[in-house]
Amino acid sequence: MKVAVAGATGSVGCEMMNVLEKRDFPVSEILLLASERSSGKKLKFKGEEIEVKTLKEDSFKGCDIALFSAGKKVSLEFARYATSSGCLVIDNSSAFRMDKDIPLVIPEINQGDIALNKGIIANPNCTTIIMCLPLWPIHKRFRAKRVVVATYQAASGAGMRAMNELLDETKAVLLGESYERKIFPFQYAFNLFPHNSPMMDNGYCEEENKMVFETRKIFHEENFNITATCVRVPVLRAHSEAINIELEEEASVDEIYEVLKEAPGVKILEDRPNNRWPMPIDASCEDEVFVGRIRKDPTQRNSFWLWIVGDQLLKGAALNAVQIAEYVIK
């Protein structure tokens, strides 16, 4: 297949290339696209140096699949040119996620929706993917009545420049030097703050609303009860989430562990006697979403806590997009 990567020089775009190569996706030709300022740069793919081209209206002629990760504005402008060229778009931005005619897909959950596409398939938000991967098998077995989630989100969610800003600001703070931030509104090094996405009319930020509305769409349950609080923490590339789930059907901690042990893309990681649970350093550069510290909530009937960690750039973005492409060619 001739595959285009739009936003190839960004953090997710680079991961998309790595995942395509690692999973031996059937690429006959790869086209790397980015803004004009990145044109001419060379990136490695399967041992070859590929020159980055400027993203244009006619860039997608002859392409079979286009993986978009250049932001909402670019997707809204260029996706239609790709589809009109007969190219399937798998989009990692928020541009099409809530469009009722465009599938929003996590392959381990709703791969059947892929067949409903009309040229565009949307990749969910990273926090949604990481949460839903372990939540779905529990919901399918025991029916989740209510979900409360708090996220602890890494710099990678805001891109490569944000990761570099965290590193540079950390050095500056350690040296007692002033630092001028360009990405984040507040000090990020040795600090945390509620997610800096725009505040919405309902009192929740955009990131929190994404988790609610995207989960309902993926689960095909428009009244699914979920509420979220999203927080930025000074971690480079793996998101962590604390989830409280109230179940309709009776369950035990052991039964939940058994369900998750069989869940695709989920891995139990813990050493209970030594109080050792999944951490961002465990999940960084790993495909699976790690789960641990499952325990009963004594304050609410048939309720449980889970602690989960996943790589934001991989399963939270690039890996999920490539998995969608794999289902397409099946």
The residues annotated as belonging to the active site are 126, 239
Q: CA-to-CA distance for 277 and 148, rounded, in angstroms?
A: 20
Locate all alpha helices (DSSP H) within the chain, ordered by sequence: 11-22, 72-84, 107-110, 126-142, 160-174, 206-219, 253-261, 280-283, 319-329
Residues paired with residue 199 on neighbouring β-strands, in sequence order: 205
Q: CA-to-CA distance for 78 and 108, rounded, in angstroms?
A: 28
CA distances from 100 to 73, 81, 150, 257 (A): 19, 20, 27, 34
Going by DSSP bridges, is the β-strand pair 120-122/88-91 parallel, antiparallel, or unpaired?
parallel
CA 109 from chain centre, in angstroms, equals 14
At 235, is the secondary structure helix, strand, or coil? coil
* Residue listed under structure tokens 């035990």: 252
CA distances from 9 to 43, 70, 158, 282 (A): 8, 9, 14, 26
